[in-house]
Amino acid sequence: MFRRQFLAGALSLAVLLPNIALGQAAASATSSAPEGAIEKIRDEGLNRSKVMQTLSYMTDVIGPRLTGSPGMRRANEWTRDKMKEWGMQNAQIEAWGAFGRGWSLRKFSAAVTEPNYSTLIAFPKAWSPSTKGAVTAEVVYLDAASNDDLAKYRGQLAGKIVLVGGERPLKPIEQPLMKRLDEAALTKLANAPIPGPNDGLGPPPAAFKQITEYFNQQARRMKFLQDEGAAVMLDSSAQGSGGTLFVQGASVGVEMAELKSFDDLFESPAFQPQNKKYQANMLPQVTVASEDYNRLIRMIKNGVKPKMTVEVDAQYHDEDPTQYNTIAEIPGTDPALKDEIVMLGAHLDSWHSSTGATDNGAGSAAVMEAARIILASGLKPRRTIRVALWSGEEQGLYGSRFYVRKHFGDMKDGKLVKGPEYDKLSGYFNLDNGTGKIRGVYLQGNANIKPLFESWLSPFGDAGAKTLTLQNTGGTDHLPFDAIGLPGFQFIQDPAEYDTRTHHSNQDNFDRIQPEDMKQASTILAAFVYQAAMMDGKLPRKTLIP
């Protein structure tokens, strides 16, 4: 799932098309699966699951999958080959376009060397340049909230390791890190009203100025450090404690024009550390776990001049500027419907400081497993089922946005321009909220589809999945589909430890994955996709929202 600092994971793509009327009647509330088919899916998915093996290889062996990195490429190729091995057709990696430079880490170390030696928990930001070998230097605290404050440090930072931002107060953790949705939370979702045009999909335009200023303040600070010749920038993890740190992309030190739409953010320097044209002002930059960071600040406040040795040895990859999604299909078998498509997908890319297990190895493995379950159950879907594993999600839903534009269509000047497969797609199902099991579906305001999904969920009430909400959810790859009026859905999932421990952290690893939840999610995903592939008609689309 996509999120950048306080932006709380959301896109405004869907605002382009909140009121589209496609005039299809609601489907009758029946299961389209032949008798016994859902039982077969349950049996295969719950009793002979391979989802944990798939996820272990993806995370433990392939590792982090930062878009543009060799790990991403290996993941694209391995998932393609694995789905082919399972008997899927047309398995391929499909280019979606140019992304920018790849980046990977060859070596990193950081330690406090004076007044006494201590290691610390830290990780370079993605696309950080390398230090010039191992740098040993005094650590200074840049206590600057404004441009005027910055000016006070002129001439003092050359060759120094600079801490930006103050001590982050840490409180005891009184709530469990692991959370499931309780009845009250599910009831609230079930009773949510139909969303307004932009509800839940991104910050309101009134916030654009503040967002712009937030990123530009960071850019000015980075430019100042670069101009002053600082050696390394360190900041504190913005959340987490106990050795868990959260780290994303580097700051480039280039200001952006004031945002006109939330989508502009993806093209702005603040979101493009991978873009060579913005990299001139970058410094080596590292995020430090808050306990270790706070100690450094307190040492300095005590009048000590700590020293550190930091080495970042990173490699940029310019061999292939293009990036790819992995695509594979189970061909449809009904001569009249096999050209139509039901899609399921998840983003395969991750951030870089752990192995991207919950974000979003979990969703990727579950999507692959859902297809495997359908194949292994010997079922013959009428429509073609197409799996997509996206890349570039974390930097702005690039893989899915460009795929949707090429295959299904785009909004131009407020009007829909259909792509070659627009009328062939029944719907798209996405999984990207971590390891937590499925509790229901966000309907994205599509009330027409409620009776149908109610009947599809009914065999899974015992597994905890029974809630349908009209509410929108944002921040992931169903949005480009929704934005052009195609049914695109993200499931409601238990939060598990997603926001408290794993989402973009150095602890997003296989150990945080819940096997029973993964089996449940893969099985429900398989049932939904299969049902959609067996219907006489396509999934009902949204009607006009008054």
**Which residue ranges make up the site for Zn ion (CB under 5 A)?**
1, 359
When the beta carbons of 67 and 377 are compared against Zn ion, the nearer one is 67
The residue at minimum Cβ distance from Zn ion is 359
When the beta carbons of 103 and 453 are compared against Zn ion, the nearer one is 103
Euclidean distance between CA atoms 522 and 348, whole angstroms: 16
- According to DSSP, residue 274 is labeled T
Are 4 and 256 a contacting pair, CB within 8 Å?
no
When the beta carbons of 44 and 359 are compared against Zn ion, the nearer one is 359
> Which region, left, alpha or beta, applies to residue 321 given φ > 0 means left and ψ of -120 to 50 means alpha?
alpha
- Amino acid sitting at position 14: A
Q: How long a stretch of residues is the chain?
A: 546
* Pairing of the two strands 322-330 and 341-347: unpaired
**Helix, strand, coil distribution of the chain in percent, nearest 5:** 35, 20, 45
CB 1 → Zn ion: shortest distance, Å? Answer: 4
- According to DSSP, residue 203 is labeled -
Euclidean distance between CA atoms 187 and 468, whole angstroms: 10
β-sheet bridge partners, residue 322: 98
When the beta carbons of 352 and 382 are compared against Zn ion, the nearer one is 352
CA atoms within 13 A on the CB side of 272: 20
When the beta carbons of 356 and 409 are compared against Zn ion, the nearer one is 356
Name the token pair of 42: 């349950």
**Chain center to CA of 486:** 21
When the beta carbons of 127 and 460 are compared against Zn ion, the nearer one is 127
Euclidean distance between CA atoms 135 and 422, whole angstroms: 55
**Chain center to CA of 318:** 24
When the beta carbons of 1 and 463 are compared against Zn ion, the nearer one is 1
